[in-house]
Amino acid sequence: MTVLAVTELTESKVEGTGVFDLMMKATKAHLEQEYKQNRIKGAEYATVYLGSLDSTMNAAMQFLLQGRKVGIEEQILEQQLLIAKVAVQKAQIELEILELSKQKVDAEVAQLHAQTELTTQQTLNAVIEGTVLTAQKCKLDAEYDYTLAQTIKSATENSLLAQKVVTEKAQTMSLGVDDDSVIGRQKSLYEAQTNGFQRDAEQKVTKILTDTWNARRMTDEGTVADGVNHLDDATLGRAVLKMLAGINA
CA–CA distance, 229 with 226 (Å, rounded to integer) = 6
Residue 212 predicted with pLDDT over 60: yes
What average pLDDT does the structure give for the chain? 82
Which amino acid belongs to residue 39?
A: R
Helix (H, G, I), strand (E, B) or coil at 222: coil
Outline where the chain has alpha helix (H).
6-9, 19-36, 42-172, 182-219, 233-246
Any idea where the domains of the chain sit in the sequence? 6-85, 179-246
Distance, CA of 3 to CA of 72 (rounded, Å): 12
What 3-state DSSP class applies to 36?
helix
**What is the average pLDDT across 102-122?**
90
| Residues 27, 56 contacting (CB under 8 angstroms) | yes
Q: Quote the pLDDT of residue 106.
A: 92
Q: What is the DSSP letter of 173?
A: -
What integer is the mean pLDDT of 68-77? 80
Task: Return d(Cα 22, Cα 63) in angstroms, integer.
Answer: 12
CA distance 30 to 52: 10
**What long-range pairs does 113-120 form, CB within 8 A, spacing at least 24?**
none
Indicate the range of 42-51, 162-171, 229-238 predicted with least confidence: 162-171
DSSP states along 103-129: HHHHHHHHHHHHHHHHHHHHHHHHHHH
How many Cβ atoms from other residues are within 10 Å of residue 185's Cβ? 13
Instruction: Give me the pLDDT at residue 43, please.
Output: 76
Which positions ≥6 away from 158 have C-beta within 8 Å?
none
Q: Residue 142 has what pLDDT?
A: 85
Average pLDDT over residues 64-78: 81
Of residues 168 and 59, more confidence is placed in 59
Give yes or no for a contact between 212 and 231, defined as CB atoms under 8 angstroms apart. no
Q: How confident is the model at residue 97 (pLDDT cuts 50, 70, 90)?
A: very high
Asked whether the predicted pLDDT for residue 131 surpasses 80, the reply is: yes
